[in-house]
Structure 1
Amino acid sequence: MLNPTTYPNGRSLQLPLKDKPIKYFIRSWPPQAGSNAWIHQDLAIEENHTRACNYIREAASQGAELAVLPEYHLNGWAPDDPLWAEQAGEYKKYLSAYQALAKELHICLVPGSIVERHETEADGKEGFNLYNTAYFISNDGSILGSYQKKNIWHPERPHLTSSGEAPHEVFDTPIGKVGLLICWDLAFPEAFRELIASGAEVVIIPTFYHQGTCHDASPEALSYNPDSEALFLESTLTSRCFENTCAIVFVNAAGADEKFLGMSRVTLPIVGPVGKMGREEGVLVVDMDMGLLKIAEENYRVREDMAKEGWHYVYRHSTTR
C-alpha cells in the first residue's frame, strides 16, 4: 500500500505506508562449479544455473517475495577464454528458465547479472557486443524491466559495452518501485539520484566485488588499509540509503578462498543494515520494514527538495516524475 505525499508545487512522490514487511532473499556465493567443494570455477554455466535454481526454491519455501543473485553468477569472469563469449550467446535460454521458475514459485527474481552476446555487422564484417544486464522478473514470470551496466570497471572495459547515456529507469513491481544498478554503479551518486527522481523505493545491486587482491584495490591502497574495499562498501551502502531515503539490496559474490568480499546485505535508512553476511557463502532471508522510507523522508525531505522547481542542481534527473 502506498501513501501519496503531495508537495507545495503540486508534484507527488509515492512512499509506502508501514504495512507488513517485505521478505527478501539474497544469495551470496561464488559463481562456481563443483558439488560441495566451493572452489571458484568460471564457465560452469549449467552447474551454476542448477545451484541458483535450487537456492531460489529454498528461498521461496521460506516465504521470500524476492530472490536476488550476484553479478556474473552464471559463468563467472573469464573474458580471455573464447567459451565465455560463446556462452553469452545462450542468455535467452537461461533468462526464459528464470521466468518459468518465477512463475512456478510465484516469486520475484533478479537473477544477478547475465552476460549477453549480441551479434553486429559493420562494413560487411560480422562481430558482436557483450552486455552485462540485470533483469527484474515478476512473480508471474513477466519481465518488468532490465538494466545494462553503465559504469564499467576498468578491467571490464575491453570486453563489455556500456549503456552509455541511456537513462536509468524505474519499474513498477509487486514489491514497489524498483531501480537496478550493477556493481561499480554504486560509486556514482548520480545514478541513485536519477533513480530516486523517478520515484525508486528499492535499489537492487548485484555485484562481483573482490577483497582487493585480485582486481579491485591497488597495492598502494592496500598498503594503507588492507580492508579499504570493505570500508568503501560499508560506508557507501549506508550513505546511499540515507541520502536517498531508499532501501538497498546489495548481493555480492562470496567465498574467502577466492578473495571475494561478500558483505551481501539489505540496508534501510534510519536503521542501516537489517541483515548482512560476511565472506562465507550462504543464504539470507530478510524482513524489510518499508515504512522506514516514509519516516526517513519525513526527517530528511530529500525527495521534497528534489521535487521543487528551481532545485539547485542542473542534472537531467532534476525533474521528478
Structure 2
Amino acid sequence: MAPIYKIAIIQFQPKPIDIEANFKYAADEIRKAAAAGADIALLPEFHLTSWVPNHPEFVSASAASGAILSRYQDLARELNINIVPGTIVEAHTTTADPASGTTLVTTAPDDTSSGTLELRNMAFFVEAGTGKVLNRYQKTNLWHTERGHLTAPTLESASSAGSTTDWPPHKAFDTPLKWGDRFVRAGMLVCWDLAFPEAFRALVADGVDLILIPSYWDPYEDVDAESLAVNPECEVDYIRACLAARASENTVAVAFCNTGGVSQLAQPLLGLRGEIRPGATETKILEMDLDYLRVADNHYKVRADIKREGWHYEHTLRFPAKTAAPVSK
C-alpha cells in the first residue's frame, strides 16, 4: 500500500499591498491545517501583495515581502508541516557588472525607480520540522501583462551571474514524505506555467510525483471580450482541462491553489477533486493516495516510454530521462 498524504489548499484573495494582514490570514489557516493533520500547506500566487503592479507601493512592498519567508520557516519548524508559501516577489538590485551578480533586497529600498530593481516571482518549498528551504523556483512563463514588471529566468542570465545552478528551471526534488524506500519527489510551477506541457514533461523526466502550483488567475477578469462572448466560463473550462490533462498525461498528482477559484487536486484515473468555487475564501484538505499514480503508470507506461532507447522526443528534454525515478513500486 502506498501512503496517503493530506494537502491543505488555502484559497483566498489577498488584500492589495497589506503584507501583514495577508500573512496573518495565511498563518492562521496553516495552523488550522497542521492541527487537522495536513502534510503540506499550499498558498496562492502573490498572496502577500496581490497583483497590483501599477500601485505606487507595489515595488517597495515586494522588496519588503522578501523578509516574510523566514517567518514561514519558523511556522514549518513550530507546526511540523511542509509549506509552499504561494509566491513571494523578490526584489534584486541590479549592477552594471553582471559577473558581480545581484543582491536580494529584504526591506523596502529608498530608491524604487525603474531599472534599479529586478522583480522575480518566486515559489519555495519549506520543510516540515526543520524550516529548511528544499527548493526555490522562479516563474518561467510570465502572463502577458506581467512581462513589463517581472523577469523570467533564462540560461543567459544564469550564465552571466556566473552560475547555472538554477538552470534548467524545471527540476524535481526530494520531499520529506516517504514512499516505500524512497522520498516523494515534488516540483513547482506557477500559474501560467500550467499552459505549457513541456514544463510538466521536464519534471516527469526528473522523476516527479507531485506538482504544486500557486496561481493568481481570475477567470472573469483580464479575459478579452471576444473570448468571453464565446463562452463566459472559458477560463474555468481552460483551467479544468489543463489540470486534468497534465495529471493524466504525466501520471502525476497536481495541486493547484488559485486566488480566483477552481483550486483543486488533480490525479490520473481519479480526475479533478475538491474544487473550490470562484470567489470563495476557503481551505480544503484533500487526500492524495500515491497508489493511484502507480496504477496509472502501470497502465499508461508514459515514464517507461520516455526512458526508452530511441524515444522520439528525447531531444526535447534537458534531463536524462533514462535515469528518472519510476513511479511504480
Instruction: Tell me the percent identity.
Output: 40
- Give the distance between the partners of 2:22 and 2:319, measured in 1 at CA: 41
Deviations 1:68-119, CA, capped at 9 Å, x for gaps: 0000000001111231111222234200000010010000000000111000
Q: Note the C-alpha offset of 1:25.
A: 0.4
What amino acid does structure 2 have at the position aligned with 1:250? Answer: F
Secondary structure of the residue aligned to 1:237 is: helix
Q: What pairs up with 1:228-239 in 2 under 5 angstroms?
A: 228-239=234-245
1:59 to 11, 19, 33: 33
Deviations 1:283-309, CA, capped at 9 Å, x for gaps: 100111110000000000000000112
**Matching residue of 1:277:** 276
What amino acid does structure 1 have at the position aligned with 2:289? Answer: D
Say yes or no: does 1:161 pair with 2:169: no
**Matching residue of 1:266:** 265
1:186 to 194, 212, 228: 194
**Matching residue of 1:70:** 44
- Give the distance between the partners of 1:123 and 1:240, measured in 2 at CA: 41
* Structure 1 length-normalised TM: 0.86
- Give the distance between the partners of 2:287 and 2:134, measured in 1 at CA: 23
Q: Note the C-alpha offset of 1:274.
A: 2.9
Q: Note the C-alpha offset of 1:19.
A: 2.6
- Give the distance between the partners of 1:299 and 1:81, measured in 2 at CA: 50
Secondary structure of the residue aligned to 1:122 is: coil
**Matching residue of 2:123:** 134
- Give the distance between the partners of 2:227 and 2:171, measured in 1 at CA: 34
- Give the distance between the partners of 1:91 and 1:310, measured in 2 at CA: 47
**Matching residue of 2:71:** 97
- Give the distance between the partners of 2:230 and 2:145, measured in 1 at CA: 23
Say yes or no: does 1:245 pair with 2:248: no
**Matching residue of 1:8:** none
* Structure 2 length-normalised TM: 0.84
- In structure 1, stretches of 5+ residues that fail to align are 1-17, 33-41, 254-259
In the alignment, is the contact (CA less than 8 A) between 1:109 and 1:138 conserved in 2?
Answer: yes
CA change 1:305–1:128 in 2 (3 A) is same
**Matching residue of 2:305:** 305
1:201 to 197, 209, 214: 209
Q: Note the C-alpha offset of 1:58.
A: 0.5
Secondary structure of the residue aligned to 2:57 is: helix
In the alignment, is the contact (CA less than 8 A) between 2:90 and 2:120 conserved in 1?
Answer: yes
**Matching residue of 2:105:** none
In the alignment, is the contact (CA less than 8 A) between 1:114 and 1:133 conserved in 2?
Answer: yes
Q: Note the C-alpha offset of 1:126.
A: 7.0
CA change 1:126–1:244 in 2 (3 A) is closer
CA change 1:242–1:78 in 2 (3 A) is same
Secondary structure of the residue aligned to 1:90 is: helix
Say yes or no: does 1:223 pair with 2:229: yes
What amino acid does structure 1 have at the position aligned with 2:2? Answer: D
- Give the distance between the partners of 1:297 and 1:46, measured in 2 at CA: 43
In the alignment, is the contact (CA less than 8 A) between 1:274 and 1:288 conserved in 2?
Answer: no
Secondary structure of the residue aligned to 1:22 is: strand
CA change 1:310–1:50 in 2 (3 A) is same
- Give the distance between the partners of 1:99 and 1:115, measured in 2 at CA: 17
Greater CA drift, 104-113 or 276-285: 276-285
- In structure 2, stretches of 5+ residues that fail to align are 99-113, 156-166, 178-183, 324-329
**Matching residue of 1:287:** 287
Secondary structure of the residue aligned to 2:93 is: strand
Secondary structure of the residue aligned to 1:43 is: coil
Q: Note the C-alpha offset of 1:281.
A: 1.0
**Matching residue of 1:256:** none
What amino acid does structure 2 have at the position aligned with 1:70? Answer: P
Cα RMSD after superposing both structures: 1.6
Q: Note the C-alpha offset of 1:317.
A: 3.8
